[in-house]
Amino acid sequence: MDNSASADSALERAKPLLAQSLSKTGGFFLVQHELEGLAGRLSEAQAVALYLYLRDESSRLEMEWRSEFIAAFPEADSALPAPMVWQMASLPRK
């Protein structure tokens, strides 16, 4: 198996675990080993795709975990989208 296929396989196994850790804790504490296993192995495009997956699947604000993600994947920093800004909808006043 080449490095690319190996990274793809590791990424697919780790994605739900990483999202679950974010969902529960707001960080990667529960899956530090998996995160470290991916660091340095993913292409920039793979790291960005992982970021988008985690943003969409974790139900946590990006500001809770973005810096930790960038520390693990610094090569993807400039390619990451700007953090989404969540605002409460204005409710009509009675």
pLDDT at res. 3: 67
Please return the burial class of 37, using the count of CB atoms within 10 Å of its CB with bins 0-12, 13-18 and 19+: middle
Do 30 and 24 meet the contact criterion of CB atoms below 8 Å apart?
A: yes
pLDDT at res. 23: 95
- Helix pair 3-25, 44-57: axis angle to 10 deg: 30
Instruction: Note the residue count of the chain.
Output: 94
Question: Could you identify the residue written with the tokens 């990451």?
Answer: 80
What does pTM read for this prediction? 0.84
pLDDT at res. 25: 95
Q: What is the pLDDT along the chain (94 residues), one digit of tens a residue?
A: 456 777 788 899 999 999 999 999 999 999 999 999 999 999 999 999 999 999 999 999 999 999 999 999 999 999 999 998 765 555 566 6
